[in-house]
Structure 1
């Protein structure tokens, strides 16, 4: 199953949507996840332009004002939804792969910048992880680095890193090496760089 995760940051420029659709098509993506849609009405969003003409299902979490917003889209001939769990900062779609019947829980995440919110959210994600059977994949913007070299000219807080790594260990997750660019977030006109976006998966998913 091929998964694509994109942080839109509210930019719904037609060329960017076409770019997303191009990646989705060329890579044979079955499950597309977007963070920071910054919309409160999913009907007004051009999902068709991102996905293309083929059939899809979707679940979404509205933004709060101009902040946040999540959407997950998938190919219904590859993945069948059983349950959707919505939270301001995550969107979990539970279902199974067709035709193997493997149970799969897919979590689209956008973690807030506030440290206390991040701590509370990690606790909720851990409870979610332990509440259901099946394979687990978490991806999106976790707003935390895992080691000093994942920040350049950007604040590195050792306690935050330790808490994030403890969450990954407690949830029995492993980070998938995405390759490509070293950093996933750029601010201050390129002066500050960080790796904040990642895929975290259970070992059984990596083995399939």
Structure 2
């Protein structure tokens, strides 16, 4: 099984859908947890861009204005939904995994900033975990760290760290080590932290003993996607093949110019240029 989590910092346009779809295809993701959609409901064309040629199912939680919003989406050939529960901060999905017919519980989490509200969420998640003896995975943006070293150029709150570790211990889950990165979030003034994480119980580890946690490339958000599953060999990006015959089409240059001018991204110059080239490349491929 290969599952992933990504705080995409909004998920309301087709370009982001295509880029998430590219990550899903690259890492062969079967279940995806997205945080901070920032929309009441992710529209169907955006969902279709994640798995273009496959049937999928999803559960969503609406944002509160431009804050929050959750999406759990999975490959229909890989899972059968048995039940689900949700609130503003999490989506719990009870699924039957097609490959071995085992039932697993996967909980997509976007924890609040307030330490008081976090404690309430930890209590809710603990109640769910303690009622389920099968394989379980918590994944998402916890807005918390386990150790002071997981924050760089940020204020350290020892009490908050202690409460978060108590939550992990009380649920008998294991925080998966990130094997290829130190941090998952980049903030202003070179601040960094590892607030995106995956936790699993012993039953999950017994079922998927070869799983490792990796971070993907940071493209469309200040969070990196994180992927739990068997390690894939990365041969680098596929080369973009430009067909000279395109230049013979009368409308080719006009279409490129119109698409380029329609793209608007905020950030430093190199970032906006890179984003516009990526989107234009996807547009030309289609």
The TM-score with structure 1 as length reference comes to 0.94
Q: How big is the shift at 1:44? A: 5.8
Aligned to 2:204: 205
Distance of 1:45 and 1:121 partners within structure 2: 32
Match of 1:73 in 2: 73
SS of 1:42's equivalent in the other structure is coil
Aligned to 1:152: 152
Deviations 1:7-53 (A, max 9, x none): 01115454443222112112211101100001112336611112322
Which region of structure 1 is more displaced relative to structure 2, 85-94 or 190-199?
190-199
Q: Aligned to 1:46, what secondary structure does the other structure show? A: helix
Q: For the pair shown, which has the larger CA radius of gyration, 1 or 2? A: 2
SS at match of 2:49: helix
SS at match of 1:108: strand
Contact 2:150–2:183 under 8 Å retained in 1: yes
Q: Is the 8 A contact 2:12 2:39 kept in 1?
A: no
Which residue pairs with 1:89 in the alignment? 89
User: How many pairs align?
Assistant: 207
Secondary structure of the residue that 2:149 maps to in structure 1? helix
- Cα distance in structure 2, aligned partners of 1:80 and 1:53: 18
Is the contact made by 2:80 and 2:96 (CA closer than 8 Å) also made in structure 1? yes
* Aligned equivalent of 1:43: 43
RMSD: 1.5
When structure 1 is superposed on structure 2, of 158-167 and 42-51 the one drifting more is 42-51
Alignment-derived partner of residue 103 in structure 1: 103
Q: How does 1:127-206 map to 2 (within 5 A)?
A: 127-188=127-188, 190-206=189-205
Task: Indicate if the aligned counterparts of 2:134 and 2:203 stay in contact, CA closer than 8 A.
Answer: no
Q: Distance in 1 between matches of 2:11 and 2:25?
A: 20
* DSSP-derived class of the 1:181 partner: coil
- Give the TM-score, by structure 2 length: 0.69
Write 1 or 2 for the structure with the bigger share of strand. 1
Query: Shift of the alpha carbon at 1:131?
Result: 2.0
- C-alpha separation in 1, matches of 2:106 and 2:45: 22
Which range is displaced more, 40-49 or 2-11? 40-49
The DSSP-based 3-state class of the residue aligned with 1:125 is helix
- Indicate the residue corresponding to 2:114 in structure 1: 114
CA–CA separation in structure 1 for the residues paired with 2:9 and 2:146: 22
CA–CA distance in 2 between the matches of 1:23 and 1:53? 15
Shift of the alpha carbon at 1:5?
Answer: 0.8
- Segments of structure 2 that go 5 or more residues without pairing to the other structure are 208-286
